[in-house]
Amino acid sequence: MKYIFSLLVALAAMVIVNAQDAESAKPGVTYGKYSEEGVKPISVNDLEKKMSDNKFDGKIQGKVVEVCQAMGCWAKLKKEDGSTVMIKVKDHEFAMPMDIVGRTVVVEGKAELKETSVEMLKHYAEDAGKSKEEIEKIKDPRKEVIMTIKGVKVVE
């Protein structure tokens, strides 16, 4: 029993330390494994046009409008039409800070058109700090582009 308790305490400490390690989102700061090499980023507005077989591998640039309030493990980039593209940190390898909202970023990873379940949509809403009433309004799954990212660079 002591071993399990010690393990849980250590795990909780690692999560807290990892979340606090996320440096403030200032231009030039990177999170994860972002490479300056390779192709130039495309606009988040052009992502769906550049997808082949509902997939994309590369870099996109956009403005962060929402971030996971629990661990910084996902964020949403706003498109011109008001919709968003979900970006998720691959395997929770790093965290984005809360002050990344409002910043323009370039993210690197793989995007795919997927259906998100009602359960997962409610989970994201909870992570975003939505009210219980807002969460209860979620009744249907949603097809959306989700990009699993390995790195982020703040550009402005």
CATH number for position 75? 2.40.50.200
Q: Average model confidence (pLDDT) for the chain?
A: 87
Query: What is the DSSP pairing of strand 84-89 with strand 142-154?
Result: parallel
Q: Output the CA–CA distances (angstroms, integers) from residue 17 to 13, 20, 25, 94, 113, in the order listed.
A: 6, 5, 17, 11, 33
3-state secondary structure of 150: strand
Q: Which two tokens stand for residue 31?
A: 């999170």
Residue ranges in the chain modelled with pLDDT below 70: 1-22
- With contact defined as beta carbons under 8 Å apart, do 61 and 106 qualify? yes
Predicted confidence at residue 36, as pLDDT, reads 87
What span, in angstroms and rounded, lies between the C-alpha atoms of 80 and 45?
6
For 64, list phi and psi in degrees, rounded to 5.
-75, 130
Q: Output the CA–CA distances (angstroms, integers) from residue 95 to 4, 23, 49, 74, in the order listed.
A: 26, 9, 29, 8
What span, in angstroms and rounded, lies between the C-alpha atoms of 95 and 5?
25
pLDDT digits (tens, 9 = 90+) for 106-117: 999 999 999 999
What span, in angstroms and rounded, lies between the C-alpha atoms of 150 and 34?
7
pLDDT digits (tens, 9 = 90+) for 56-71: 999 999 999 999 988 8
Predicted confidence at residue 10, as pLDDT, reads 44
- Structural domain range at position 85: 2-154
Q: What is the total count of domains within the chain?
A: 1
Predicted confidence at residue 9, as pLDDT, reads 43
Nearest to 76 by CA among 68, 90, 86: 86
